Structure 1
Amino acid sequence: MFQISSLLSLKGKVFLVTGGNTGIGYLTCLHLAGNGARVYLGARSEEKATEAISKIKGTYPTANLHFLPIDHNSLKTVVAAAKTFVSKESQLHGLILNAGVAGLPYEVTGDGFEIHMQINYIAHWLLAHHLMPVLLSTARNEGPGSVRIVCVASNANNLFGTKKILYEVDEVKNAGNFNRYGLSKLANILHAKNLNDKYGPESRNSKDGKGEIWSASLHPGFIDTQINRKALHWSQKWVTNLLVLLGIMKPLGDGAVRAIIFAAASPDFTGEISGVFLSERAEVDEPNPIARDVKERQRLEGWTEEKMRSGGWI
């Protein structure tokens, strides 16, 4: 089993981690920066990001970390974040799409999308789209395996009755809070597979010498990340606290980012497994059967691109 302690030096590498100020994102930034990488910490709050950076530097005084403002609830800030990044950097080796919410009541964002789907999936799709030129440029210059995109999903993609991506407003509204979360996590998995189809080892892009990018989605574990505790109903909080007490839900620790670090930076992650879904042990696992449905993947990709174009975000 992959151990984070076995990670080689990442000096000279550049990473961007969304939701990097807390939880899984924070630990990801900690380990990447601690191994010498230059890390951009994407977050909505500059105050919280600065606090996280200071805390990491308390452990690694020479850590090279930078705050990148981004609010997934507002797609124009996602576009702006990508523009800010490419104005500062000419290379990007790892994009960790981690930021997320869970269990929120039904809400449509100002951009017109269900809140889980926008924050967990659409904003990440848009960020990856706008960063693709620098990702591909880095991949062409440094070769296969030098550039990775990691989509942090969840086993929730297989729970809560998640049988397909829902596109109709009424279907989404009636799905239930955690089913809507599961739908967004399924979308993360399909996103990683679509990225592999477009840019992975067997892609036309790679064969034409335009750049090869490896991707993966993963389940970080059944972890108490404190995600949206304030948004939970008292009964949900009670169940969560009980699961923690019984040891079923584990406290946040290095195990929660094992698969992320493996996919993003380990030489043991190879092109042969690009596009896969990983367990929290950083081992290839089986996600929702829908992930194997190429037509479903293509439908989601087409729907997302059409919505982004019609909204003027791409």
Structure 2
Amino acid sequence: MFEWFFGKSFNPEHIPDLSGKVILITGGNTGLGKETVLQLAKHNPQEIFLAARTPSKAEDAIADIKTRVPNANISYIKLDLTSLASVKDAAEEIKSRSDRLDILINNAGIMAVPYSKTKDGYEIQFGTNHIGHSLLTKLLLPTLLETADQPGSDVRIINVSSAAHMMAPGIVYDQDLLESYITHRRYGQSKLANLLHARELQRRYPQITTTSLHPGVILTDLYASQKESNIFVRLALPLIKPFSLDVPGGAKNQLWAATADKKEVGSSYYWTPVGIKSGGSFWHAQKPQLAKELWDWTENELETQLKKLS
């Protein structure tokens, strides 16, 4: 009962040995992503690819992590999720540098920003958090599947979603119509899409352990960046703070999902911290037909975009 309410007792120091594993973490230069890189690096993976938009910030993060884990093999991959050309380039670079990929953590994201569109015409939060990660995952799937075919493999895809998926209006495909929704509902849609994407991946590719999760309420840079400009966040922060986690605490759920027993992790498509099984708190999250519908729509969009990039 206590575990169901408070979550599992999980200590990153007890992560099993990761020798031979190749790991990719998006948004690994700051916040939960950086903490995830740090903790995984302590357990001897073959290589960690840290994907981020700004080279200087990524290199600073790698240097800082190496002061604590001197032998860590961490490489920077330039990735701008608002540009599908950048996503394609990042995937090609990863495939050129490694013939295996054991763990993909789709961690990067933006939150509650004003309405605008990505370079490819998608609402900025939906385009960054869902479309960009969906293309990255699609392009890396052959490598993930090849790795999964190897004896003794344990391949995982982890989508960092959020309890904010409860604020989603459903999935609104009209990217212009999304301007009429408040920013937090648009953010909720992007997080619902992360959850549904993981759900459909889990159904289509059972040889890969795929799931999504809510990290908890963590006062990371996502909140700090909008504190001055967003009155909702400014008013909510004093109420949220007593119940919030620090960054090491907030990273635990994705670290657990990436390294705990694969049968347990794969038994749910969405987890609240730490390791509490959930079908998603919102009824849209519990619709398998919506997961398939979003998958089909996204695949069509990505194929169209890839033709433009070829």
Q: Does 1:281 align with 2:288?
A: no
Change in CA separation of 1:148 and 1:9 when aligned onto 2, cut-off 3 Å: same
Correspondence for 1:249 among 244, 248, 252: 244
Contact 1:214 1:275 in 2 (8 A): no
Q: Does 1:45 align with 2:54?
A: yes
Summarize the alignment of residues 110-189 of structure 1 with structure 2, pairs less than 5 Å apart.
Answer: 110-143=119-152, 146-159=154-167, 162-189=168-195
1:39 is paired with a residue whose SS is strand
Change in CA separation of 1:100 and 1:56 when aligned onto 2, cut-off 3 Å: same
- Deviation of 1:142 after TM superposition, in Å, equals 3.1
Correspondence for 1:86 among 95, 98, 101: 95
Tell me the equivalent position of 2:220: 225
Q: Does 1:235 align with 2:231?
A: yes
Q: What's the CA shift string for 1:164-186, capped at 9, x where partnerless? A: 11112343111110110000000
Question: Which ranges in structure 2 are unaligned for 5 or more consecutive residues?
Answer: 1-7
Correspondence for 1:30 among 19, 35, 38: 38
Amino acid at match of 2:219: D
Correspondence for 1:299 among 290, 293, 298: 293
- Deviation of 1:249 after TM superposition, in Å, equals 2.8
2:74 is paired with a residue whose SS is strand
Deviates more, 1:233-242 or 1:120-129: 233-242
Aligned-residue identity in percent: 34
Contact 2:257 2:265 in 1 (8 A): no
Change in CA separation of 1:259 and 1:272 when aligned onto 2, cut-off 3 Å: closer
Distance 1:247 1:177 in 2: 24
The CA RMSD over aligned residues, in Å, is 1.8
Q: What's the CA shift string for 1:222-252, capped at 9, x where partnerless? A: 11012163345252452254245x4123332
Contact 2:103 2:156 in 1 (8 A): yes
Change in CA separation of 1:251 and 1:258 when aligned onto 2, cut-off 3 Å: closer
- Deviation of 1:255 after TM superposition, in Å, equals 1.8
Contact 1:101 1:228 in 2 (8 A): no
Change in CA separation of 1:72 and 1:135 when aligned onto 2, cut-off 3 Å: same
1:12 is paired with a residue whose SS is coil
Distance 1:300 1:143 in 2: 32
2:149 is paired with a residue whose SS is helix
Q: Give the length in aligned residue pairs.
A: 297
Tell me the equivalent position of 2:3: none
Change in CA separation of 1:236 and 1:291 when aligned onto 2, cut-off 3 Å: closer
- Deviation of 1:3 after TM superposition, in Å, equals 2.6
2:221 is paired with a residue whose SS is coil
Correspondence for 1:269 among 262, 276, 285: 262
For normalisation by structure 1, the TM-score amounts to 0.90
2:225 is paired with a residue whose SS is helix
